[in-house]
Chains A and B, each alone.
Chain A
Amino acid sequence: GAVVSQHPSWVICKSGTSVKIECRSLDFQATTMFWYRQFPKQSLMLMATSNEGSKATYEQGVEKDKFLINHASLTLSTLTVTSAHPEDSSFYICSAQIGGNQPQHFGDGTRLSIL
Chain B
Amino acid sequence: AQSVTQLGSHVSVSEGALVLLRCNYSSSVPPYLFWYVQYPNQGLQLLLKYTSAATLVKGINGFEAEFKKSETSFHLTKPSAHMSDAAEYFCAVYGSSNTGKLIFGQGTTLQVKP
Contact = CB atoms under 8 A, between A and B. Distances in A.
A101 B32 contact: yes
Interface in A29-85: 32, 34, 42-44, 46, 49
Interface string B84-96: 0000001000100
B44 to A, nearest CB: 4
A105 B44 CA distance: 8
Contacts of B51: 101
B68 interface: no
Contacts of B42: 108-109
A46 B90 CA distance: 14
Contacts of B49: 103
A49 B94 CA distance: 14
A25 interface: no
B114 interface: no
Interface string A1-21: 010101000000000000000
B43 A49 contact: no
Given A43-B106, A43-B107, A103-B34, A93 B43 contact: yes
Given A43-B107, A109-B43, A111-B41, A104 B102 contact: yes
B101 interface: yes
A105 B46 contact: yes
B45 interface: yes
A101 B34 contact: no
Contacts of A109: 41-43
Closest 9 CB pairs of A and B: A106-B43, A106-B44, A108-B43, A101-B32, A43-B104, A109-B43, A107-B43, A93-B43, A43-B107
